[in-house]
């Protein structure tokens, strides 16, 4: 599209006018008879009717609407309807319960709360009513799963024209602190989606997929990609392997991913097949971000899944910062997080090495908090990294993920990448634990393949020594777990929970 427009609704309207009969969204299922689809033309028409139905229910431009809905066609319609109205929308992960959802409702001062009814055994409507009873102001509860309110679009006011107004509130994962409400505009989300589409080199024959929660900021990011290029995507309400593979194969999906956790899940399924078989023959590219990727994982995916892997760096505050190009060198693809698109400026803070960002895809700040931007308009991310001579970004960890042992700074991510190379380790997290003698000690927490003999600390230390890791970085404590605790969006490891669990156990001197 030569012109995207100022708002998300502009983009919806332009795509519907250009290719009204092209498929837009396919609701994937294990059985073909349970699948549904919608074209770009129908997407616009129905979103306008839903917008009118919401207008009849009292939703107006500027109304504050929290929605907690799974990855479905109806959810996309609901969100686009709010964009058509110019409402302020705040998506919430469906797995959140009274505590987290209640925080969002209070902090946004929500007027409407859309829920899926009873979903996966939990009564969201009952929760919404419980929460509404404890709020200082009125809250209308809407069920929006199979049925959405619809009415005559002639009731509607004109679409919003200002793409720079903060009308989206997304929530950080809260892995290290209380979640923050991140303020985005149509313009910032459009900029992120454009950059993602360009980075992945989208072609007319591509078929995308959304297996991650649509409530994540990647939801509109990916929607912009689809609208710009007019390609369809398979939506999966509940991603689980091997069950979800049927939809990927049936629709010959070419683009998949979401985060490192998705890569490892696909790889585990591939390893169940006979040599020479491909899990997903149509797949040309796995892509994602949001969590570190060990370099060795890149080479394993390419060799075993038979597709490319492009990993990028993104955060709720900036849904697209860098992304590797599929035609980058294998070294760049394995060891970096890609280059920034035009307009995205990256500054590495002297001394600390913190990554700071400025550009059109960066958020406009946080809900009810002072401006986070520095004097030059750059957003501090709390992430550490450096830029290579080729302009590729290498993310090395978090400011809060640095272990300080006897006055020496140690990167947890560096050790995790080396641990991942051990054949008896399927995933690893490294944390710093309080220690009276050393300040902090290095603790490695690992997952192992089923049926594998449990690793010992001595074996792990020997493996890391053999890879040349400096002695002061070697783990002094090893914990083997069935599964690392993860966030509900893109599967980030919740290191705070690991520190709580293992902080009281003794380590050894190295």
Token look-up 């696909």 returns: 266
383: Cα separation from own chain's centroid = 16
pLDDT-based confidence at 174, cuts 50/70/90?
Answer: low
For residues 325 and 339, the answer to whether their CB atoms sit within 8 Å is yes
Range among 288-292, 353-357, 420-424 rated most confident: 353-357
DSSP string, 260-322: HHHHHHHHHHHTTSPTT--S-TT--EEEE-SS---HHHHHHHHHHH-SEEEEEEEETTEEEEE
pLDDT at 4: 54
pLDDT-based confidence at 438, cuts 50/70/90?
Answer: confident
pLDDT at 3: 44
**Selection from 325, 394, 312 nearest residue 361 by Cα:** 312
Q: Count of residues for the chain?
A: 510
pLDDT at 67: 98
DSSP conformational letter for 493: B
pLDDT-based confidence at 294, cuts 50/70/90?
Answer: confident
**Selection from 469, 407, 481 nearest residue 444 by Cα:** 481
465 vs 276, 398, 460, 470, CA distance in Å?
35, 24, 9, 7
Q: Give alpha helix (H) positions in 86-164.
A: 98-108, 124-133
CB-count exposure of residue 102 (10 Å: 0-12, 13-18, 19+): middle
Whether residue 506 is predicted with pLDDT greater than 70 in this model: the reply is no
pLDDT at 2: 35
Whether residue 154 is predicted with pLDDT greater than 80 in this model: the reply is yes
DSSP string, 374-427: -TTSPEEEEEEEEE-TTS-EEEEEEGGGEEEETTEEEEHHHHHHHHTTSTT-SE
From 122-131, 260-269, 356-365, 501-510, the region with the lowest mean pLDDT: 501-510
Whether residue 369 is predicted with pLDDT greater than 80 in this model: the reply is yes
Mean pLDDT of 299-309: 96
DSSP string, 447-468: E--TTPPPP-HHHHHHHHHHTT
Whether residue 315 is predicted with pLDDT greater than 90 in this model: the reply is yes
Q: What does pTM read for this prediction?
A: 0.86
Q: For the chain, what is the mean pLDDT?
A: 93
177 CB-near residues (< 8 Å, 6+ apart): none
Q: What are the structural domains of the chain? A: 8-187 (3.40.50.980), 406-502 (3.30.300.30)
Range among 225-234, 422-431, 478-487 rated most confident: 225-234
Whether residue 507 is predicted with pLDDT greater than 70 in this model: the reply is no
């Amino acid at each position: 599209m030569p012109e995207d427009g100022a708002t998300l609704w502009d983009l919806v309207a332009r795509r519907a006018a250009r290719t009204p009969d092209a498929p837009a969204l396919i609701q994937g299922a294990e059985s073909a008879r349970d699948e549904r689809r919608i074209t770009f033309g129908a997407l616009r028409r129905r979103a306008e009717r839903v917008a009118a139905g919401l207008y009849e229910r009292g939703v107006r431009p500027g109304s504050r609407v929290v929605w907690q809905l799974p990855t479905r066609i109806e959810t996309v319609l609901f969100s686009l309807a709010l964009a058509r109205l110019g409402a302020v929308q705040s998506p919430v992960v469906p797995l959140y319960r009274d505590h987290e959802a209640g925080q969002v409702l209070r902090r946004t001062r929500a007027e409407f709360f859309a829920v899926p009814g009873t979903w996966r055994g939990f009564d969201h409507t009952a929760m919404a009513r419980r929460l509404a009873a404890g709020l200082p102001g009125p809250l209308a509860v809407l069920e929006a799963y199979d049925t959405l309110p619809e009415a005559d679009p002639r009731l509607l006011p004109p679409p919003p024209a200002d793409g720079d107004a903060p009308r989206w509130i997304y929530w950080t994962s809260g892995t290290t602190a209380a979640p923050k409400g991140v303020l985005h505009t149509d313009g910032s989300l459009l900029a992120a989606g454009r950059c993602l589409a360009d980075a992945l080199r989208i072609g007319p024959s591509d078929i995308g997929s959304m297996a991650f929660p649509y409530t994540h900021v990647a939801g509109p990011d990916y929607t912009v990609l689809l609208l710009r290029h007019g390609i369809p995507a398979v939506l999966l309400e509940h991603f689980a392997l091997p069950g979800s593979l049927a939809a990927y194969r049936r629709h010959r999906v070419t683009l998949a991913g979401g985060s490192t956790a998705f890569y490892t899940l696909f790889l585990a399924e591939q390893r169940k097949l006979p040599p020479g078989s491909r899990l997903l023959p149509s797949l040309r590219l796995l892509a994602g971000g949001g969590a570190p990727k060990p370099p060795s994982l890149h080479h394993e995916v390419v060799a075993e899944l038979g597709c490319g892997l492009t990993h990028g760096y993104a955060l709720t505050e900036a849904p697209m910062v860098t992304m590797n190009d599929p035609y980058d060198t294998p070294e760049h693809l394995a060891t970096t997080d890609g280059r920034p698109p035009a307009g995205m400026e990256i500054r590495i803070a002297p001394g600390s090495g913190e990554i700071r960002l400025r550009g059109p895809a960066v958020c406009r700040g946080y809900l009810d908090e002072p401006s986070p931007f520095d004097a030059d308009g750059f957003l501090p991310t709390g992430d550490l990294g450096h830029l290579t001579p080729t302009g590729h970004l290498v993310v090395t960890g978090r400011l809060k993920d640095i272990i300080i042992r006897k006055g020496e700074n140690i990167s947890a991510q560096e050790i995790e990448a080396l641990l991942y190379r051990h054949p008896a380790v399927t995933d690893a997290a490294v944390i710093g634990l309080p220690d009276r003698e050393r300040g902090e000690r290095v603790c490695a927490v690992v997952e192992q393949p089923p049926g594998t003999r449990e690793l010992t600390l001595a074996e792990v230390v020997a493996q890391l020594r053999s890879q040349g890791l400096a002695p002061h970085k070697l783990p002094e404590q090893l914990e083997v777990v069935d599964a690392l605790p993860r966030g509900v969006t893109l599967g980030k490891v919740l290191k705070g929970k690991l520190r709580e669990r293992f902080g009281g156990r003794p380590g050894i001197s190295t």
